[in-house]
Homo-oligomer: A and B are copies of this chain.
Amino acid sequence: MVQGDANAGNAGRGERVEGGRGAQRPKILDVAKACGVSPATVSNALANKRQVKAETRELVRRVAIEMGYRPSAAARGLSSRAGRTWSVGLVVGDIENPVVPTIVRGVEEILWASRTSLILCNTDFQQDKKMAYVRSLVDRDIDGLILVSHLFNDMEARSISLLDLPIVTVNRMADEWKTDYVGIDNTAGTRSAVNYLTGMGHRRIAYIKGLHTSTAAEARFDGYLVGIAAAGGDTDPDLVVQGDYTQESGDIATRQLMALDRPPTAIVAANDLMALGVLGALRNLGVSVPGEVSVVGFDDIHMSRHPLINLTTVHYPQHETGAMAARLLLRRIEDGPDELPRSMVLQPSLIVRGTTAPPRDMPGTAGSGPNITV
């Protein structure tokens, strides 16, 4: 029973719909009619909100399923003042950066559990694209927003704050903008990497910086500086090269570093992608790792674990970061804006693999075995 009469009321409208195709989705009124009750009752029966006689409730439910009725999310959001849209925006700079999909996955996992949709925005780190996306998300009445590795200037921050929309920022160091925050202690991360190297006797340690637009990049660099200073390492400015987080920039930086009169005995990169570039360049230059030069990355992307790469790196809990951001956001959405901003700082940890060893001129304890011998 109950089959084709959806569309009964609005027949004649769907010109083109000739053969039984294009059966429009039934609306709540269709279900109501089919059940001989009012739309309100259907709504209540389905939402389990008000008291509805068990009998009617069952009837409505059965018919609704039979007809394939599904409430329109848009209509729902429009109605009911407290109505959520059950969707959140996720703004990332570059979905192709290996750390990002893992973060996204962490976010998705949590959101899925509360049946919240994820609107993905890829900004290519362009200011205007970023803002346009945010505006578009707001137009959609999203319940909340997660911003990964993005900086907002005062004007932008102010204009967004006005919306008093639940926001969680990820990988952005604290500023005046009071949003919830998830991140790691970047400084501690690089410092532990440098400490490890100096502990093995390295003194001439190079650093390849990340994109300057990121506060995380600054923090990681600080860790390097502190670590070098603490061990009385070489502070030759030529040992610091600007990169942009891409593999290629790691490659270029390495050629530059190895061309120095006194090349470094170890290279620390601000992320794994650049470290991979370092390894590639060294390989092509015929420099053995870790025999002649040690290499350390930051992030611990999946590929770094590969036996052919086997990169010593600082582990960044990417999945957990995403999951935590989503949890914070959902909590904020439920609690409302009156709670104090929450910060979650996860701890990175050094993972020692095969690209690090004592410097050649100081054959102390051997590393975990040479990784590549050219």
Contact residues of A with B, CB < 8 Å?
Answer: 1-8, 10-11, 13-14, 16, 21-23, 25, 68, 70-75, 77-78, 81, 85, 87, 90, 95-96, 98, 100-102, 104-105, 108, 112, 115, 117-122, 129, 135-141, 159, 162-164, 174, 176, 178, 184-185, 247, 276, 279-280, 283-284, 302-303, 306-309, 315, 317, 336-338, 340-349, 372
Are B22 and A164 in contact, with the CB atoms below 8 A? yes
Are A73 and B342 in contact, with the CB atoms below 8 A? no
Are B280 and A307 in contact, with the CB atoms below 8 A? yes
* Contacts A306-B276, A349-B1; A95 near B105 (Cβ below 8 A): yes
A11 smallest CB distance to B (angstroms)? 7
* A11 nearest in chain B by CB position: B340
Ordered nearest first, which 9 A-B pairs have the shortest CB separation? A4-B346, A280-B307, A2-B347, A14-B340, A120-B120, A4-B345, A8-B343, A73-B140, A74-B74
Are B96 and A105 in contact, with the CB atoms below 8 A? yes
Are B72 and A341 in contact, with the CB atoms below 8 A? no
The distance in angstroms between the C-alpha atoms of A303 and B129, with both chains bound, is: 28
Are A68 and B162 in contact, with the CB atoms below 8 A? yes
Q: A6-B342, A87-B140 are in contact. List 5 more A-B contacts (CB 8 A).
A: A6-B344, A8-B345, A16-B338, A98-B98, A280-B306
* A183 nearest in chain B by CB position: B4
Are B104 and A345 in contact, with the CB atoms below 8 A? no
Name the one of B6, B247, B276, B315 contacting A343, with C-beta atoms under 8 angstroms: B6
